[in-house]
C-alpha cells in the first residue's frame, strides 16, 4: 500500500516535469545564427528572438575588426530586455497616440506601453516573439537568412492576420541589406516595421557617439508634443538643431544632450520619391574612419541617440550608457495611422508592404572629405 501510494506522486511529478520541459523548449526556441563573407572580415549574427541583429563585425581602414552593434550575450536577454536592441519591431513601430486608432470607421484599442501611447506595437511586439527560420546560408558570395512570423488577427489589438518576412543578407564588398515584407490576409491594418539596431562605429561599449559625423538627407522633420507624438506639422530643418543636411558632428547642438534634454529622438521626412530606394543618411566615426551609407525606400527615418540607455549590461561584459549608440530607423512617420495628412501606413487585404534598407559600410578615412 505504502509503495503504491508513493508511486502516484512520483508519476505525477514526472508528468509535470516533462510538461515543464516541453514548455521550456517552446519558450526558449531562440538561437543565434551567423552570416560571414568570403574574406572572413565581414560578418553578422542574428537571432530569431525578435528577428534581431546581434552583432556586425566590420573592418576599419587598417583592417582592424570591431563589433559595432549593441546587444546581449543571451537569447533570454533579448526576450526580456527593454531597449529593442537590433530587433524587428512592429506591427507598428514608433508611437501610436493614446494606444488607439480608427480605421474604416472602427476604433481599435491597443496596449499602452509608453505612458498612454503604444510604442513599437505593444509590450509583446514583433521584437518580443520567436520567428521561424525559413532559410539560412552561412557563407559564400551573398550569405543570407530569412525569418518568418505569422501575426494573428487581434494580436496586441491589431486587425487581421499578417504574414511577415525579414531577410538579412551580406553582399560584396561590405553591404548589409535587410528586406522586410508583410501581407495582409483578411483585414486592412496599419503596418510599419523597423529595424532597431544601435550603432557605435568605434565599437559597441566604447563610449558615446557624440563625435560621430552624421548626414541625414532630409530637409524637413516632424516636430512632436510633450508625449513624443507628432503635432502633424512637417517643417524645414533649416535653422534648427535638427539640421543634418551637411555632415555634422552629432554632439554639435549640446543643449539637446544637456540634463533635461534627452538627445535626439525625432522623425525626418526623407527627401525624394517615397517608395524609391534612395540615400537616407551617412554616418562616420572619425577615429576609425568606419562609415556607412544607409539606403531605404521608406518615407521617414527616426534618429535616436539612445537617451534611454542607463547602465545596460551588454555583450562581452560591456556596459552601455546614455548616448552610447545611435539608431537610424527607416520607417513610416510616427502615429501615421492617426494623421491622414501623413503618408498612409495602411495595408489592405491581399496587399503587400515592402521595406528595403541597405547599410553600405566603408572605411576610407576621407569618406566625407572627398
Ligand atoms: C494619460 O492620459 C490622462 C487622461 O488624458 C492624463 O491625465 C495623463 O496625464 C496622461 N498620462 C501621461 C503619462 O501622459
Ligand atoms: C517576402 O519575402 C520572402 C523572403 O525574402 C519572399 O520569399 C517572398 O516572396 C516575399 N513576399 C512577397 C509578397 O514579396
What percentage of the chain has pLDDT greater than the value 70? 90
pTM, 2 dp? 0.91
What range does the domain containing 202 cover? Answer: 44-363
Residue 123 domain flag: yes
Report how far residue 263's alpha carbon sits from residue 253's, in angstroms, rounded to the nearest whole number. Answer: 10
Report how far residue 95's alpha carbon sits from residue 116's, in angstroms, rounded to the nearest whole number. Answer: 10
Nearest bound ligand to the CA of residue 227: 1
- Mean per-residue pLDDT, 311-320: 97
Query: What does the pLDDT read at residue 141?
Result: 93
Q: Taken in order 222, 90, 169, 314, is the CA torsion positive or negative?
A: positive
Q: What is the count of structural domains for the chain? A: 1
Residue 140 domain flag: yes
Residue 107: which CATH number?
2.70.98.10
Ligand 1 centroid to 227 CA: how many Å?
A: 9
Is 255 a catalytic site residue? Answer: no
Reported for 230-235, long-range contacts at CB under 8 A and 24+ positions apart, including other chains, are 230/267, 230/333, 230/334, 230/335, 230/339, 230/342, 232/339, 232/341, 232/342, 234/269
Whether ligand 1 lies within 6 angstroms of the CB of 115 is answered as yes
DSSP state letter for 336: G
Q: Atom 7 in ligand 2: which residue has the minimum CA distance?
A: 165
Count of alpha carbons within 13 angstroms of residue 256, beta-carbon side? 20
Q: Atom 3 in ligand 1: which residue has the minimum CA distance?
A: 116
Residue 156 domain flag: yes
- Give the pLDDT band (50/70/90) at residue 254: confident
Ligand 1 centroid to 20 CA: how many Å?
A: 41
Residue 10 domain flag: no
Is 329 a catalytic site residue? Answer: yes
- Give the pLDDT band (50/70/90) at residue 364: low
Residue 99 domain flag: yes
* Summary count for the chain: helices (H), strands (E): 2, 28
Report how far residue 258's alpha carbon sits from residue 253's, in angstroms, rounded to the nearest whole number. Answer: 10
Residue 4 phi, psi (nearest 5): -60, -45
Nearest bound ligand to the CA of residue 116: 1
Q: Indicate if the pLDDT at residue 347 is higher than 60.
A: yes
Ligand 1 centroid to 206 CA: how many Å?
A: 38
Do the annotations mark residue 250 as ligand-binding? no
Provide the H-helix boundaries in 288-343. Answer: none
Residue 350 domain flag: yes
Report pLDDT digits (tens) over 50-83. 999 999 999 998 889 999 999 999 999 999 999 9
Q: For residue 206, give the C-alpha cell.
A: 566604447
Q: Atom 5 in ligand 2: which residue has the minimum CA distance?
A: 167
Beta bridge partners of 213: 249, 284
Amino acid at each position: 500500500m505504502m509503495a503504491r501510494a508513493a508511486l502516484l506522486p512520483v508519476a505525477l511529478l514526472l508528468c509535470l516535469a516533462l510538461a515543464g520541459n516541453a514548455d521550456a523548449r517552446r519558450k526558449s526556441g531562440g538561437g543565434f545564427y551567423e552570416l560571414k563573407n568570403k574574406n572572413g572580415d565581414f560578418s553578422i549574427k542574428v537571432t530569431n528572438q525578435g528577428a534581431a541583429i546581434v552583432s556586425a563585425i566590420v573592418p576599419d581602414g587598417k583592417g582592424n575588426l570591431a563589433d559595432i552593434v549593441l546587444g546581449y550575450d543571451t537569447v533570454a536577454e533579448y526576450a526580456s530586455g527593454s531597449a529593442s536592441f537590433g530587433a524587428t519591431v512592429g506591427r507598428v513601430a514608433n508611437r501610436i497616440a493614446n494606444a488607439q486608432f480608427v480605421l474604416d470607421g472602427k476604433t481599435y484599442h491597443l496596449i499602452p506601453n509608453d505612458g498612454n501611447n503604444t510604442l513599437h506595437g505593444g509590450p509583446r511586439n514583433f521584437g518580443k516573439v520567436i520567428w521561424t527560420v525559413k532559410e539560412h546560408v552561412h557563407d559564400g558570395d551573398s550569405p543570407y537568412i530569412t525569418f518568418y512570423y505569422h501575426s494573428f488577427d487581434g494580436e496586441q489589438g491589431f486587425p487581421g492576420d499578417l504574414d511577415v518576412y525579414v531577410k538579412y543578407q551580406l553582399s560584396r564588398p561590405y553591404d548589409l541589406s535587410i528586406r522586410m515584407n508583410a501581407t495582409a490576409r483578411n483585414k486592412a491594418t496599419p503596418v510599419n516595421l523597423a529595424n532597431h539596431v544601435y550603432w557605435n562605429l568605434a565599437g559597441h561599449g566604447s563610449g558615446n557617439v557624440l563625435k560621430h559625423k552624421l548626414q541625414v538627407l532630409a530637409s524637413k522633420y516632424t516636430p512632436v508634443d510633450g508625449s513624443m507624438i507628432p503635432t502633424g506639422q512637417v517643417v524645414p530643418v533649416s535653422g534648427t538643431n535638427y539640421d543634418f543636411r551637411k555632415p555634422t558632428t552629432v554632439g554639435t547642438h549640446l543643449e539637446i544632450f544637456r540634463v533635461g534634454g534627452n538627445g535626439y529622438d525625432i522623425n525626418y521626412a526623407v527627401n525624394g520619391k517615397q517608395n524609391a530606394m534612395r540615400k537616407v543618411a551617412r554616418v562616420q566615426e572619425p577615429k576609425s574612419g568606419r562609415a556607412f551609407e544607409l539606403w531605404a525606400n521608406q518615407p521617414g527615418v527616426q534618429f535616436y541617440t539612445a537617451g534611454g540607455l542607463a547602465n545596460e549590461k551588454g555583450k562581452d561584459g560591456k556596459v552601455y550608457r546614455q548616448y552610447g549608440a545611435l539608431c537610424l530607423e527607416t520607417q513610416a512617420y510616427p502615429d501615421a495611422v492617426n494623421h491622414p495628412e501623413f503618408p498612409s501606413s495602411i495595408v489592405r487585404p491581399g496587399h503587400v508592404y515592402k521595406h528595403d534598407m541597405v547599410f553600405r559600410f566603408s572605411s576610407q578615412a576621407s569618406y566625407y572629405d572627398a
